Amino acid sequence: MAMSEHIMSSKFYYAIWIALLCLTVITAAVSFVDLGPFNAVVALVIATVKALLVVLFFMHVKYSSEKLTKIVIVSAIFWLFLLLALSMADYGTRLLS
Amino acid sequence: MLSDSPVAVEQHGPELLHHFVDAEQQRDAATLGMWLFLATEIMFFGGMFCAYLIYRYWYYNEFAAGSRSLDIYLGTINTAVLICSSLTVALGVRAAQMGKRKLLVILLLLTIVFGFAFLGIKGVEWYDKYKEHHIPGPSFNVDDLVRDYPQIHIDPRHEQIYFSLYFAMTGLHALHMIIGVGLFVFLTYYAWKGRYTPKYYTPVEMGGLYWHFVDIVWIYLFPLLYLIDRHR
């Protein structure tokens, strides 16, 4: 309900934009350093931070009081987690048997 | 009896459909519906991400070599282009909320320009892959990768799976970008005609949600395809 009344300042959007650009440069720069398996971890953590910034602020989810929308978003992420986690749990352990 | 009904006496503009109590409820319903659609899109792309992760696990050498053959600079520039387009979309929704018609039109047009810039850069990358014979098919050839990475064994059939997934994922993403540009052309036309007001700008907001979602897909495609396999 509060969504329509909540108009964020343009300065706030510029701040999010700068943060997203900085994170993009950082993740590209880190990929040139050999961190072993942690290259993937760092890159995916940074990607998740960027996605959160976009979802919460550009997509206004942070300031939405509509609970149903939030339930749909959390459910979607949970289904994706099930798909990826259970598939990898299968393929990742096949060599053990 | 009829005069007691709050709906019957309420005055509203043509933008409010009669089966909604008020504009708030109509907006909340649209937002919920859009997020349900985006949830199905997450699973749509999720299947491809899952396939990528499994094949990367199986054919790690080929996926690392394929990933290193991509242009990381063009990939980074394209990520920045999409982030800029997300800013113009967010500012555009804000302009619609405040009823600034001209600013809205300018920001929507800027978004379309960024969209074409992304597709153009993506086209350059695809053309490079075409010249290198890295497009799966009869002329597929990875002798250059075998030469570049003598320390690892590269099976051309497995390398073809990497590039099949690369083209399927970036292709599906580009298709979403093309649809997004199309949507924004419509939004620009109606914004220019003055259809969107601070009371009714739902299409701008929903188009914005779609655009941001497509941006987020790229935010994950970029590290998976370009960044995480540059060593070992």
Question: In this predicted structure, what is the pLDDT of residue A66?
Answer: 81
Residue-range domains of chain B with CATH? 35-226 (1.20.120.80)
Q: Where are the domains of chain A?
A: 7-61, 64-97
Question: In this predicted structure, what is the pLDDT of residue B3?
Answer: 52
For residue range A56-85, what is the model confidence (pLDDT) as tens digits? 999 999 888 788 999 999 999 999 999 999
Cβ–Cβ below 8 Å for A76 and B24: no
Neighbouring CB atoms inside 10 A of B73's CB total 10
The answer to whether B8 and B2 have CB atoms below 8 angstroms apart is yes
Q: How many angstroms separate the CA of residue B81 from the nearest CA in chain A?
A: 10
Question: In this predicted structure, what is the pLDDT of residue A3?
Answer: 46
Question: In this predicted structure, what is the pLDDT of residue A32?
Answer: 95
**Nearest C-alpha neighbor of B148 from the set B214, B66, B71, B223:** B66
Q: In angstroms, how far is CA B86 from the centroid of its own chain?
A: 10
Chain B hits for A54, CB-CB cut-off 8 Å, are: 86, 212, 215-216, 219
Instruction: Give the whole-angstrom CA distance, residue B180 versus residue B81.
Output: 15
Chain A hits for B208, CB-CB cut-off 8 Å, are: 58-59
Partner B contacted by A73 (CB < 8 A): yes
Beta bridge partners of B200: B197
Q: Going residue by residue through chain B (232 aa), what tens digit of pLDDT does each one get?
A: 455 555 554 566 777 888 888 888 888 899 999 999 999 999 999 999 999 999 999 999 999 999 999 999 999 999 999 999 999 999 999 999 999 999 999 999 999 999 999 999 999 999 999 999 999 999 999 999 999 998 899 999 999 999 999 999 999 999 999 999 999 999 999 999 999 999 899 999 999 999 999 999 999 999 999 999 988 6
Question: In this predicted structure, what is the pLDDT of residue A30?
Answer: 96
Cβ–Cβ below 8 Å for B43 and A20: no
Give ipTM to 2 decimals.
Answer: 0.92
Question: In this predicted structure, what is the pLDDT of residue A46?
Answer: 97
